[in-house]
Amino acid sequence: MPASVSLWPVSGIPEIRSGDPLAEKMLPSLRELAQAGDVLVVTHKIVSKAEGRVVDLTTVEPSEWARQWAEKWKKDARQIEVVLRESAGILRMEHGIIVSRTRHGLVCANAGVDRSNSPGETVCCLPDDPDASARGLSSSLSQSLGFTLPVLISDSFGRAWRIGIINVAIGVAAMDPFTDYRGQDDPHGYPLEASIMGSADAICAAAELVMGKTDGVPAALVRGFDWKPMENPSSKSLIRPLDQDFFR
């Protein structure tokens, strides 16, 4: 029987501020909890905050266009302005919802710009380079802990055809983001052709079960999943290339 997998909330992480050394701030909690073989999932919010990717809305001058659209849909024009700045392209802009492709290539609502869990009149943007953030965390934490700790940076995304947000991996370090069943045979000997599990996304989705939005638990450890080490994984590999995107 395959072993069980367990999900552990990482609590005790202090409130993170711009410029904070995130690995150092997380280390005391992880020293108590983390074990060799674990994967660490970190919500992007604390990464963005540590990296100063928080925008004070009182400093934002919205364009006329952002102003008009915000007025029409009763949104904060300054926040809309930030969303537009963070977007490389707009896919849909209807009913007050902006679905855009971020500079990272991620397709999500509001370019990942989020007001919740940010103090005061601020919004939180996605990290500039979430893979680099993940690599930095993984390398620093692995060194301190004495074993390789892969890191996934997560955000909760809406989906094209389904209701409810689900965590996905927007940054990956030290592990293969996929489990590739191709080439293996199923128990009936039929090759599993189109079977590549997005394990990094599945792990992030799982982590949400112990993190919750309101509990203020910004990280989780996933124990018992048989991940494959990888030196330079890229979260870009989890993004469907534009030329394969049927739903632009």
Q: Judged by CB under 8 A, which stretch of 57-65, 129-137, 139-147, 155-163 contacts a second copy? A: 155-163
Q: Which stretch binds a second copy (CB under 8 A): 7-15, 18-26, 81-89, 141-149?
A: 7-15
Q: Of 14, 52, 89, 119, which lies in the binding site for a second copy, with binding defined by CB under 8 A?
A: 119
User: Residues 17, 89, 196, 229: which binds a second copy (CB under 8 A)?
Assistant: 196
Single residue of 18, 197, 229, 234 touching a second copy by CB under 8 A: 197
Length of the chain: 248
Query: What is the Cα gyration radius of the chain?
Result: 19
DSSP per-residue string spanning 193-212:
TT-EE-HHHHHHHHHHHHH-
**Residues from 29 through 68 that contact a second copy (CB under 8 A):** none
Q: Which is nearer to a second copy, 84 or 200 (CB)?
A: 200
DSSP 8-state secondary structure symbol assigned to residue 151? E
Applying the rule CB under 8 A, the residues between 168 and 187 that interact with a second copy are 168, 177-179, 181, 184-187
**Please, what is the minimum distance in Å from the beta carbon of residue 157 to a second copy?**
9
Element (H, E) at 27: helix 22-33
Identify the three-state secondary structure at position 175.
strand
Within residues 210-239, the interface with a second copy by CB under 8 A covers 210, 212-217, 222, 225, 237-239
Neighbours of 225 (CB within 10 A): 19
Q: Annotate each residue in 81-110 with x if it binds a second copy (CB under 8 A) or - if it does not, as one string.
A: ----------xx-x--x-x------xx-x-
Footprint (CB under 8 A) of a second copy, residues 11-30: 11
DSSP 39-108: EEEEEHHHHHHHTT-EEEGGG----HHHHHHHHHHT--HHHHHHHHHHEEEEEEEETTEEEEEETTS-EE
